Structure 1
């Protein structure tokens, strides 16, 4: 149960950080930021596992960096596609 809660919290933090790094305004709701962040954290953990950097002693900065980069990419894609899916304008 704690793994799910910590993954949601980590996803929210990574999502917010990704939106802060992205220039301009992203037209997407806060809950979608959390969902994108959780997906990015899971993908980042998977990629870190592929490169065998997922279980280092201390804070896994490489794993968090990978998750942040993945989240920045996903936030950019989601922010570009979300208004079109909802039927609004991209401006």
Structure 2
């Protein structure tokens, strides 16, 4: 993995994390820093997957970008949705939410 791949994954992850915060509706239970970190981590994972799968020396630079963006978008959406679906452990608080 080259330095440009790492920088590209960092930029893609930060961009997808930031845009994901803006696009998903409702109040977010996930902090901004966690959304950005998940985007970067997933984009790096996407870069690793592309590096393992695509061994062509003159490969298109579009494939890593698409895979990194996809991985980062899925990670951010899953994190925000999962955090928003958490239920309160207190049964009394849960009854108040249902009313």
Where on the TM-score scale, by shorter chain, does this alignment land: which range? 0.5 to 0.7
Cα RMSD, aligned residues only: 3.5
**Which digits, 9 at most, give the CA deviation of each residue in 1:18-52, with x for residues without a partner?**
x1685424612210111111111111101111221
Partner Cα distance (1:70, 1:26) in 2 = 23
Gaps of 5+ in 2: 95-99
Question: What TM-score comes out, normalization by structure 2 length?
Answer: 0.59
Question: What TM-score comes out, normalization by structure 1 length?
Answer: 0.63
Q: Given that residues 13 and 38 in structure 2 are in contact (C-alpha distance below 8 angstroms), is that contact kept between their aligned partners in structure 1?
A: yes
Gaps of 5+ in 1: none
Query: How many residues align structurally?
Result: 83
Partner Cα distance (1:64, 1:32) in 2 = 21
